[in-house]
Amino acid sequence: MAKLSPNYNREPTCIVKMLDSEKIAIRFEQIGSRERFRRLLQRFRDDFLLANCQEREGQPWWIVSLTQHSDLIEFCKRNGLSLKEE
C-alpha cells in the first residue's frame, strides 16, 4: 500500500506573521485543488483590496495592515481556514 504524503491530512491553513508594528504577512497552505485556491484567492482579493503580494523567504506572502487582523479572522472562519500565527 502506498504511503500518503505528510500533507495529505492537513487542513487548509492561513499563516500570519507580524512584519512590524503596522503590517502583517499572510500565506495560504493546503488549500486543495487549483480551482478551490483560485476561488479563495479571488475572495481574499475582494475583501482585502489594499493587499499586495511580495516574495518573502522564497514564498509569496500577502501584505496587509495590522488593523485588518480581525477582518482576516472573520475571512478564515467564513472560508473554513485554520489560522496559524507565527
Whether residue 2 lies inside any domain: the answer is no
Q: How many helices (H) and strands (E) does the chain have?
A: 2, 5
What does pTM read for this prediction?
A: 0.82
Q: Give the pLDDT confidence of 28-86 residue by residue, as tens digits.
A: 997 788 898 899 999 999 999 999 999 998 999 999 999 999 999 999 999 999 999 98
- Amino acid occupying residue 75: F
DSSP annotation string for 1-13: -PPPPTTTTPPPE
Q: Does 24 fall in a domain?
A: yes
Domain count of the chain? 1
- Residue 63 contacts by C-beta under 8 Å, 6 or more apart in sequence? 19, 23, 24, 25, 26, 51, 52, 53, 54
Distance CA 67, CA 42 (A): 21
Task: Tell whether 8 is covered by a domain.
Answer: no
